[in-house]
Structure 1
Amino acid sequence: MHKIEKNNLSVNQLVKEILERDIFLSVSLKKGYANLSAVTRTLMPLVESRLGKKLNQEALMSALKRNRDFSTNFEPGIKKVLAQSSIKLTTGMVKIVIPNAYIQEFLDAMSDEFVKDTAYMSIGMQHTTIILEERIYDVLPRNLNRNIIDNRRSVAVMHILSPESVIETPGFLVSIYERLAMAGINVEETTNSYTDAIIVVKDQDAGEAFTSISDLIKFSRINI
Structure 2
Amino acid sequence: MTAQSLSEIVRRLVDADPCVRDCLARGIVNYSELARRIKPLVEREAKRGASLEAVKAALVRYASRLREQNIQTPQRRLLEVLAKSALELRTGVTVATVRLHALPRLVEAAAALVGRTRLLFLMQSIASVTITVSSEYFDYIEQRVGRENFIEVYPDQAVLVIVSPPAVVETPGFTAYITSILARNGININQIESVYTDTILVLSLDDALRAFQLLREAIEVAKRSLREYEKGQAANTE
In the superposition, the TM-score normalised over structure 1's length comes to: 0.63
Counterpart of 1:213 in structure 2: which amino acid? L
Residue 190 of structure 1 deviates from its aligned partner by: 1.1
Residue 149 of structure 2 corresponds to residue 147 of structure 1: yes
Classify the secondary structure of the residue corresponding to 2:97. Answer: strand
Distance 1:215 1:112 in 2: 39
Per the alignment, do residues 190 and 162 of structure 1 end up closer, same or farther by CA in structure 2, a change over 3 Å counting?
same
Letter in 1 for 2:125: G
Amino acid across the alignment from 1:179 = I
Q: Could you tell me how far apart the structure 2 residues matched to 1:141 and 1:209 are? A: 30
In structure 2, relative to structure 1, the CA distance for the partners of 1:140 and 1:125 (3 Å cut) is closer
In structure 2, the residue matched to 1:197 is 199
Q: Tell me, what secondary structure is at the counterpart of 2:210?
A: helix
The question of whether the paired residues in 2 share the 8 Å contact of 1:183 and 1:208 is answered with: no
Aligned match of 1:82: 82
2:141 & 2:173 partners in 1: Cα distance?
Answer: 39
Match of 1:156 among 158, 168, 191: 158
Give identity over the alignment, percent. 26
Q: How has the CA–CA distance of structure 1 residues 141 and 207 changed in structure 2, closer, same or farther, with 3 Å as cutoff?
A: closer
**Separation in 2, partners of 1:145, 1:157:** 24
Which protein, 1 or 2, shows the higher relative CO under an 8 Å CA cutoff with sep ≥ 6? 1
Aligned-partner residue type, residue 125 of structure 1: I
Say which structure is richer in helix. Answer: 2
- Deviation (angstroms), 1:141: 4.9
Q: Deviations over 1:140-197 (max 9, x none)?
A: 3525222111111111111112122112111100110011112221111111122221
Per the alignment, residue 107 of structure 1 pairs with: 107
Unaligned runs of 5+ in 1: 1-72
Q: Which amino acid aligns with 2:104?
A: Q
Q: For 1:141 and 1:203, how far apart are their aligned partners in 2?
A: 22
- The one of 200, 211, 214 aligned to 1:212: 214
CA RMSD of aligned residues (A): 1.9
CA distance in 2, matches of 1:114, 1:213: 30
Q: In structure 2, how many angstroms separate the alpha carbons of the residues matched to 1:123 and 1:163?
A: 27
Q: Which residue of 2 aligns with 1:126?
A: 127
Secondary structure of 2:110's aligned partner: helix
Sort the Cα spacing of 1:149 and 1:186 in 2 relative to 1 into closer, same or farther, 3 A. same
Number of paired residues? 152
Distance in 2, matches of 1:128 and 1:157, equals: 18
Q: Which amino acid aligns with 2:110?
A: M
Question: Which residue of the partner structure matches residue 169 of structure 2?
Answer: 167
Instruction: Give the counterpart letter for 1:91 in structure 2.
Output: T
**Structure-2 separation of matches of 1:141 and 1:130:** 11
Instruction: Report the residue type matching 1:203 in the other structure.
Output: L
Measured against aligned partners, the alpha-carbon deviations of 1:2-36 in whole angstroms (never above 9, x if no partner) come to xxxxxxxxxxxxxxxxxxxxxxxxxxxxxxxxxxx
In structure 2, C-alpha distance between the alignment counterparts of 1:121 and 1:86, rounded to whole Å: 23
CA offsets per residue over residues 14-60 of structure 1, 9 Å max, x none?
xxxxxxxxxxxxxxxxxxxxxxxxxxxxxxxxxxxxxxxxxxxxxxx
Is 1:106–1:144's contact at 8 Å kept on the other side of the alignment? no
Q: Does the 8 Å contact 1:109/1:141 carry over to 2?
A: no
Aligned to 2:43: none
Cα deviation, 1:113-158, whole Å, max 9, x if unaligned, reads 2323211122222222111111010233525222111111111111
Unpaired runs of 5+ residues, structure 2, are 1-71, 227-238
2: distance between equivalents of 1:100 and 1:193? 23
Query: One-letter code of the match for 1:126?
Result: A
